[in-house]
Structures are given as C-alpha cells and as structure tokens.
Amino acid sequence: MLLILLGVLVLHLIILILLIVSTAASAWTVGGDRSSDLWYNCMTTNGGYHCKPASNEDWLQAVQALMILAVLFCFFSLIAFVYQLFRLVKGGRFFFTAIFQILASVFVMCGAIIYTVMSPDDAKVVFGYAYVLAWVAFPLCLISGLIYIVLRKKE
C-alpha cells in the first residue's frame, strides 16, 4: 500500500530526471571530440571547448519541442498524481495522471524516432548518452502510465 505508492512515486521521479537530463544535455550524437544535438554542437579542439548553436533544421526543432513537451507532461502528471492522491474518492483510478504520463511517453517516442530517422549518417559518429536516456525513458514512462491506469485508491 504505502510501499506501492512510494515505489510508483520513485519511478515517476526517476523518469522525470531521465527526461530532464536527456533534454538538457547536448549529447545525442557524439563522435571523437565532438558532441552535438539538441541544443549545441560542441567541439573540443586543442584550443579548448567551442560550442555553437545546433542547426536550425526543422526536424531538430521538432525533436526539441517534443522532448520539452514530454518533460512538461511528465511534470504535470506528477502534480496530477499528488493532487489526485489527496482529492480522489476512495476506489477511484488515477486517470488524469495516467493520461499525462502516457502522452509524455508518446512524445518521447516520437522525438526519439524522428531523431533516429533524420539524423545524418556519418561513419565516425555514434549516438550519445542523452539519446540512450530518451529511449530508456520511453518504456519506463509507458509502464508508469499503465500502472496509474490500474492503480486504485484504497478504501
């Protein structure tokens, strides 16, 4: 009861942190001394660390928007969870929380898919940790949303 609640809340917080790190860190593509995407293209030359803003392509802006929306919806779902925890009638389901969480997972999925498909093919570059975190956050977010659908407030 209390343990399940705590577990669900901890999972939600972990997902939120994963999403925030994945969105904020500019490490969706790394290669050698270069790490780029979502927000900055940074290069470590012998002079130092030089960053310039990421390209203005439309697909990259769409990925930025979707990741930000995912973070926002995950946050809204956390607020809805806390609100519904205290205000829900006994035996009720956490629908609002579940809807926001599932929407957040859909946004992360769309963002990650668009990035995978549209990122330019280059022999030397591989996907960075922020990209991996986005793909990890997506199933966790979906599972968390489904848990909220089946979760019921105890009498």
Partner 1 sequence: MLTFLALASVVLLGIVPERSQAIVIYTGWERHALVGSDIRLSCSFFSWRWTSEDVTFSWTYRPDGSRDSISIFHYTGGAAYVDNKGPFRDRLEFVGNPGRRDGSILLKNLEFADNGTFTCDAKNPPDIVGRPSSVRLLVFEKVPIQAGVITGAIIGVVLGLLVLIVVIYYLMRFLVARRVFSLSVSKHGKKKKEGSQQRQGPAPPADPSKIKV
Rounded least distance, CB 115 to partner 1, Å? 14
Query: Quick one: DSSP state of residue 43?
Result: E
Task: Record the tokens describing residue 82, joined without a space.
Answer: 């806390």
CB 31 within 8 A of CB 122: yes
Site for partner 1 in 56-115 (CB under 8 A): 56-58, 61-62, 64-66, 68-69, 72, 84, 88-89, 91-96, 99
Rounded least distance, CB 91 to partner 1, Å? 7
Q: Measured from the CB atom, is 57 or 122 closer to partner 1? A: 57
Inter-residue long-range contacts of 75-80, CB under 8 Å, 24+ positions, other chains counted: 75/16, 76/100, 77/12, 77/101, 77/104, 77/145, 77/148, 78/12, 78/13, 78/16
Rounded least distance, CB 83 to partner 1, Å? 11
Residues contacting partner 1: total by CB under 8 A: 22
CB-count exposure of residue 6 (10 Å: 0-12, 13-18, 19+): exposed
Site for partner 1 in 36-55 (CB under 8 A): 53
Q: Measured from the CB atom, is 33 or 57 closer to partner 1? A: 57
Q: Measured from the CB atom, is 64 or 116 closer to partner 1? A: 64
b/e per residue, 41-50, with b = 16+ CB within 10 A?
bbbeeeeeee
Residue ranges binding partner 1 (CB under 8 A): 53, 56-58, 61-62, 64-66, 68-69, 72, 84, 88-89, 91-96, 99
